[in-house]
């Protein structure tokens, strides 16, 4: 299990994932060699899986982001498996989440513009299998997006 030192390191690391190791060690109040050893151990244990670059899709020309909330036809035994397998085939789908609640599956979808979205929606998304109901939330702005854990 993790101790307070590990948590302190992760807290600082989360807040500034691109900080130089020496600065991170200083902020976490440990020596650089402790930092290296602790991070290696946490990677080995699978607690720390990596540092991912978060793509700004707008810079790559994708202006539209939509959250599609899907209710599936649960009388079909393979509804979840079939739907998810088909959704994986659509490159513009960034996230696939399943839920316990009113919504069964949520897809995060990006498109170049509204015309492109309309085309995707009709040709690739509405045609996904076993959809009982679908509703869209159009993304306006990201107010907070660091996805940090309250360690």
Binding site for another protein (CB under 8 A): 2, 10, 13-14, 17-18, 45-57, 59-62, 67, 84, 88, 91-103, 106, 110, 135-151
Using CB atoms within 10 A of its CB, is residue 87 exposed (0-12), middle (13-18) or buried (19+)? buried
Residue 51 Cβ vs another protein, minimum distance, rounded to whole Å: 5
Calculate the CA dihedral of residues 105, 107, 144, 102 and round it to 10 degrees. Answer: -20
In whole angstroms, what is the distance from residue 52 CA to residue 146 CA? 12
Residue 82 Cβ vs another protein, minimum distance, rounded to whole Å: 15
Instruction: Rank residues 93 and 131 by Cβ distance to another protein and give the closer one.
Output: 93
Instruction: Rank residues 76 and 90 by Cβ distance to another protein and give the closer one.
Output: 90
Question: Around Cβ 74, how many Cβ atoms within 10 Å?
Answer: 11
In whole angstroms, what is the distance from residue 44 CA to residue 86 CA? 33
Instruction: Rank residues 30 and 120 by Cβ distance to another protein and give the closer one.
Output: 120
Residue 7 Cβ vs another protein, minimum distance, rounded to whole Å: 8
In whole angstroms, what is the distance from residue 122 CA to residue 120 CA? 6
Instruction: Rank residues 62 and 121 by Cβ distance to another protein and give the closer one.
Output: 62
Residue 75 Cβ vs another protein, minimum distance, rounded to whole Å: 20
């Amino acid at each position: 299990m993790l101790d307070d030192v590990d948590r302190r390191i992760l807290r600082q690391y989360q807040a500034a994932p691109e900080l130089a190791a020496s600065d991170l060690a200083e902020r976490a109040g440990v020596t650089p060699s402790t930092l290296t050893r602790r991070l290696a151990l946490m990677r080995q244990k699978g607690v720390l899986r990596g540092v991912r670059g978060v793509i700004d899709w707008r810079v790559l020309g994708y202006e539209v982001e939509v959250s599609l909330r899907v209710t599936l036809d649960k009388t079909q035994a393979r509804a979840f498996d079939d739907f998810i397998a088909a959704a994986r085939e659509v490159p513009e789908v960034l996230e696939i989440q399943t839920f316990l609640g009113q919504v069964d599956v949520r897809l995060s979808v990006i498109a170049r513009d509204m015309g492109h979205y309309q085309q995707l929606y009709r040709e690739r998304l509405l045609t996904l299998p076993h959809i009982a109901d679908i509703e869209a939330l159009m993304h306006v702005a990201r107010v907070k997006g660091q996805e940090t854990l309250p360690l």
